[in-house]
Structure 1
């Protein structure tokens, strides 16, 4: 996974069922690969920060981060896809065997104002039951922003 150091001057949040969501992070990782094996997006109500990194060849594949503006309305749509943060917190993780047998792993982390990072890890290209639309939307955002 990528480690991102972020300084956000004005923290914008969206509230669902009394919980204030401040950000999402979604990514993929493949431990047995060459090149940019880890890719992620960090999303808050005003920006998307992408990251790519390599586990083995940092010279040819240096860590890359890029920032893009992001509409708060799009962030609010992601929050709505969560539906219930209480239900999200109850998802057992990991789901399946992430990155076993070279199949890769995916993760989604949701930060809230009260407690940071409620994360779920799952097998790459699978889904999280009850959160399929959220998984698909975050994948689409990764594909849109990571070049």
Structure 2
């Protein structure tokens, strides 16, 4: 269960991860964003034998991290009841999206169909997409 401790509120946040993947595509089909220690780490890789991973980093303010944590806390009670997989992510090559929160050394991950975030996660996913899109020039 996501956010199972601390009365379903994130207090000691270790990291937040967000990503997308497409199983049947050409180019950089998997993209990941990690937020940890006021640093954004973005990576993208290709499918297949030679992933050719590219990685870029930026800093993020404590206020931005807190705002993201607050977006998750708003619906923490409902988020904690979501299943680990929602829908059929990437089944018909529609892609998959996921959000993962690492709290006190425990990871909680929810994967869903690309572009179809559950309403409890919509605001946080929208913010994470904007942060990820800030890495369009990562080559």
**TM-score, L = length of structure 1:** 0.80
Larger RCO (CA under 8 A, 6+ residues apart): 2
Q: Measure the CA separation in 1 of the matches of 2:124 and 2:62.
A: 16
Runs of at least 4 residues off by over 3 Å: 16-19, 84-87
* Alpha-carbon shift at residue 88 of structure 1 (Å): 2.7
The alpha-carbon distance between structure 1 residues 33 and 116, as it changes in their structure 2 partners (threshold 3 A), is: same
Instruction: Could you tell me which runs of 5 or more consecutive residues in structure 1 were left unpaired when the two chains were aligned.
Output: 1-15
Partner of 2:5: none
Alignment of 1:62-73 (within 5 A): 62-73=52-63
Partner of 2:102: 111
- Number of residue-to-residue matches in the alignment: 129
Q: Does 1:74 align with 2:64?
A: yes
The alpha-carbon distance between structure 1 residues 23 and 95, as it changes in their structure 2 partners (threshold 3 A), is: same
| Matched position secondary structure for 2:12 | strand
| Matched position secondary structure for 2:47 | coil
Counterpart among 77, 80, 101 of residue 92 in structure 2: 101
Instruction: Could you tell me which runs of 5 or more consecutive residues in structure 2 were left unpaired when the two chains were aligned.
Output: 1-7
Computed over aligned residues only, the root mean square deviation of the Cα atoms, in angstroms, reads 1.8
Do 2:79 and 2:120's aligned partners in 1 also have CA atoms closer than 8 Å? no
